Amino acid sequence: MLQHILQAMSAGGVHSLRELAQQLDTSEQLLGSMIDQLVRMGYLKPLSAPCVEHCHNCPEANRCSVGGSGRAWVLTAHGEKMAQH
């Protein structure tokens, strides 16, 4: 399932936790736990600044993967490689 998360996130665009959880047929709570695990493993990193509605000014906008409720994560280089496997 972790691999599926990375692959979905590498497809690009901003996804809400709800949208990604539905796409992966899992709960938002479980998805959040798996995202936390991917952060600990070094495949994702949380954005340091809170996510806002307008992404055009964000330096990570082209790499942003999942956001919502002021939280957003991006794939690391390690995560991008893993998503391709």
- The pTM is what? 0.76
Q: What is the pLDDT of residues 45-59, one digit of tens each?
A: 887 655 555 566 665
Q: How far apart are CA 26 and CA 20, in angstroms?
A: 9
Whether residue 16 has pLDDT greater than 70: yes
**Domains (range + CATH), the chain:** 2-83 (1.10.10.10)
Give per-residue pLDDT as tens, 71-83.
Answer: 778 889 999 999 9
The residues near 7 (Cβ < 8 Å, ≥ 6 apart) are 83
14, amino acid identity = V
pLDDT band at residue 85 under the 50/70/90 scheme: confident
CA–CA distance from 41 to each of 51, 53, 56, 69, 84 (Å)? 22, 28, 29, 23, 16
